[in-house]
A and B are shown apart, each in its own frame.
Chain A
Amino acid sequence: MNIRLRINGKWITFTVKPDEFLLDTLRNNQIISVKKGCDGSTCGSCTILLNNQPVLACSLLSVRADESTILTVEGHAEEVEKIAVAFGKEGADQCGFCNPGMALMIIALKQSHKNPTDDEIKHYMVGNLCRCSGYQAQFKAIKRYLEERL
């Protein structure tokens, strides 16, 4: 089947199978910023923004995304750059495999919460697993980004 996606501002047509998931469609077409961590709805590494909402690309059937707008980190370059700076300043980067997904969650958090409390930040980010950092530095970096101390 053919589907059309507006990925980072550009309409692209893909031929997909009925049981193909968007994560594979994207990675097989060299959109490699989206990471495959668990491929089972549990880790958050494949998070993308679908019509501005964070979703898990590993569990979204590609056909269901037809005619949707998709943003990956490349489509949010300016904000991602700021988040990256905040992560750098707090020492929140380790292996980075979960970071593109986490960056998109942080952007969605900023869009949906005006002044999130610490608790709201943690509850918003809880689906994004990280095995390296212990989460503390990331949490500080998220606060730094939201408070624009860059």
Chain B
Amino acid sequence: MQITEYYKAATVEDAYQRLNLDSSNAILGGALWLKQTSKPIQTAIDLSALKLNVIKQESAYFEIGSMVTLSQLYDADSLHQMTDNLLKESLASIMGVAFRNMATVGGSVIGRFAFSDLITPLLVLQAELVFYHQGQMRLTAFLDQKKPPKDILISVRIPTIKGRAFFKKVSNTVLDFSILNLAIFKHESVLIGVGARPGIGTLAQAMMDYLNHADKIDETVINEAVEIGLQTIQLSHNQRAQKAYRKQVLKTYLKRGLIEVMNCEH
């Protein structure tokens, strides 16, 4: 890890210019995993003077500034009320309090960490990313990009939709990265996200389509949906678990989660 120059940006435009001045310039998020990066950074650009550490509630969405810390987000009670504590539960399982006091929402999203316990719930909440230059973009679209844009993430928007939620993280010790995480959000339709597959978080589209077009939701339908999920959600193995175990965990919690949020009699 090496930083040649530290630069505290005065405006977003200033930060954007700096970032694009040199390919080895980078934006600082919470910097928690900075030591683990091997690529030297020419200029590390700090956004902390740009007042991006604010959560605003608009009529159509919550706007979470990219420099909002995970602890700030954890304390955003009205957001959690709306989302049935989905984000709160996922945040509670991410490292410790001191860590969350430093880690930023922007860093967590831009890092596109495959193990992320935050991206999965953001997916099912239909989060949108607001970039300085490229404007608004769906989180799903951002994750689909091969390379993240050399742009400044201003905020993450979560549409004001009230719903019921389910979150589950399965890990070795409580503090470990997920072997698998699962988020379900149900309002008029249902959204299902799976992360740490070990690939990055993704929406279970085929499964969602099936459920959202079903006439009624009962256990048979849920079982069928889970089967579709298992066939369409890509799983693999890594140091933390084999594919077969991930599949079993996914199967179990998809079913349990759906039964819970769908208010379905078991």
Do A and B come into direct contact in the complex, CB within 8 Å?
A: yes
* Residues in chain A within 8 A of chain B (CB atoms): 1, 18-19, 21, 39-42, 44, 47, 50, 53-56, 58-61, 63-64, 105, 108, 123-128
Contact present for B31 and A105 (CB under 8 Å) = no
Contact present for B36 and A105 (CB under 8 Å) = no
B92 — which chain A residues lie within 8 A by C-beta? 123
Query: B111 an interface residue at 8 Å Cβ cutoff?
Result: no
A108 — which chain B residues lie within 8 A by C-beta? 97
Contact present for B1 and A19 (CB under 8 Å) = yes
Report which residue of A21, A40, A105, A126 has the largest number of chain B beta carbons within 10 angstroms of its beta carbon: A126
Residue of B whose beta carbon sits closest to that of A54? B98
Contact present for B97 and A59 (CB under 8 Å) = no
Contact present for A127 and B28 (CB under 8 Å) = no
In the complex, A56 Cα to B98 Cα: how many Å? 6
Contact present for B96 and A53 (CB under 8 Å) = no
Q: A18-B6, A63-B6 are in contact. List 12 more A-B contacts (CB 8 A).
A: A19-B41, A40-B35, A41-B33, A44-B96, A53-B101, A54-B98, A55-B98, A59-B34, A61-B3, A124-B97, A126-B96, A127-B99
B145 — which chain A residues lie within 8 A by C-beta? none
Query: Which 6 interchain pairs have the tightest Cβ spacing?
Result: A127-B96, A19-B3, A18-B6, A54-B98, A41-B32, A18-B3
Choice from B34, B96, B101 contacting A128 with Cβ under 8 Å: B96
Residue of B whose beta carbon sits closest to that of A60? B102
In the complex, A39 Cα to B44 Cα: how many Å? 20
Contact present for B28 and A64 (CB under 8 Å) = yes
Chain B, range 15-55, C-beta contacts under 8 Å to A: 28, 30-36, 41, 44, 46, 48
